[in-house]
Structures are given as structure tokens and as C-alpha cells.
Amino acid sequence: MNSSLRVSGRTIDRIATLSQTFHDHFSGVASRYPDFRPRYPAALFDYPATLASRSSVGWDCACGTGQAALDLAGRFDRVVATDASREQTASATPHPKVDAPRPEVKC
């Protein structure tokens, strides 16, 4: 695997290290996580929806159990949700517009 990435003319060589430093603080309580996590205000999702067409794909990086993905699904035809925690994504609420949240190391 190539662990470098070119961004704005600079090469970043720490991509592989990012996954090694992930500290999973919520997997042990993933099934109860949505009960305690505060909701974001609608305006947070309304703004990006003004920048892209409804047919664009929304992305919820670090989705946890997918609450923000559900809000984005009200504004986009398709939402991709990713998180580094398998337990968090396994506890996500399904939605027809949200690709099944899946664990990804790189966000």
C-alpha cells in the first residue's frame, strides 16, 4: 500500500499511521450511543445542501451510528457513511438513501 498522498504540492507520508493511532472510545457502548449523543441543528445540514444539487452524494465521515447520515438523507438522494468503528456502523439505523454504513480506516 502506498502510504503517501500528494496534497497542495506537498507529499504526506503518514496515511498508514493514521489507522494505527485510532482510539475507539465508543464501540463498547455502540448500541446505546444514539441515546446519549446530542442532535445537530437542521441548519448544519441545510447549508451544504445549498452548495450541491440534491442528486449529489452526501458523505458522513466518522458517522458513528449514522445520525448525521439520516439528516443528510433528507437533503441528498444518496449518502455514503463511513467510520473506523465496526461496532458503531453495525448499530446504525438503516435508511434507503444511506449506503449501509461501513467501517473504513481512511476518512
pLDDT band (50, 70, 90) for residue 8 = low
Question: How does DSSP classify residue 4?
Answer: -
Structure confidence at residue 70 (pLDDT)? 93
Which is more confidently placed, 99 or 8? 99
pLDDT in tens, 33-90: 777 777 899 999 999 999 999 998 999 988 888 889 999 999 999 999 888 888 888 8
Q: Which domains does the chain have, with CATH numbers?
A: 25-103 (3.40.50.150)
Sheet of strand 102-103, all strands in order from the earlier edge strand to the far edge? 57-61, 78-83, 102-103
Q: Which residues of 27-40 are buried (b: 16+ CB within 10 A; e: fewer)?
A: eeebeebbeeeeee
Rounded Cα distance between 62 and 106, Å, is 10
